[in-house]
Amino acid sequence: MRYPLPKKDENGNYLPGVMQRVGDLFKYLEMEDKLIPYYYASNASPAFKYFNGERARIGDNANFNGSSLGISNTLLDLGTSTVVEDVVGPFANMLWEDLRNHTRSGWEVMMANDAYSMRAYMSFKYIPSAGFGLPPDHLSTRVINWCETFDNSTGSYSKALTETVLDVIAFGQDGSEVEWKCIE
């Protein structure tokens, strides 16, 4: 089991975050000395992902022939991480604001979109940010499949949009700093 624990302050207390209580539980049970680093992602080369028979080194969109698969060069230049952040980032930010301010407005917006899977939201509701230079239109199935493959794994965009947003927050993919740990 892996745990994305928040960083600690100068006194050794876990900073506020989604997994703060889990970190506090390890501390309470005096198990912190049993936690060892877990490496969630590898930077080692070579690492590859495949999409419709095309192979690309992870993080290297330059060698990926996405245009032959209907992925525009603009999207390839942006990369899947930027697109996915544009989809889930606003929700994650609103939920963090709820936590900071003890409000529920972000959660209410999230629940208003809870009927959507990640795929359905990208297909029917999401419009890319104006600064991307893309037409103000929903994403095509090919683009969504490309994002799903390079962002996560096949089938992951069939789960609820809310679950995806909460995963992004819990796993520190929203920019919050976490330290990945597992039990020795």
Q: State how far the Cα of 9 lies from the Cα of 74, in Å rounded to an integer.
A: 41
Rg value, the chain, Cα = 18
Hey, what amino acid is at 48?
Answer: F
Domain count for the chain: 1
pLDDT at 44 over 90: no
pTM: 0.73
Which domain range does residue 11 map to?
A: 2-183
Q: Summarize pLDDT for 75-109 with one digit per residue, the tens.
A: 988 988 899 999 999 999 999 889 889 999 999 99
Tokens for 41, please give them: 């992602």
Task: Determine if the peptide bond prior to 4 is cis (ω within 30°).
Answer: no
**Contact present, 134 and 128 (Cβ < 8 Å):** yes
Average pLDDT, rounded, for the chain: 85
Residue bearing the bigger pLDDT, 41 or 55: 55
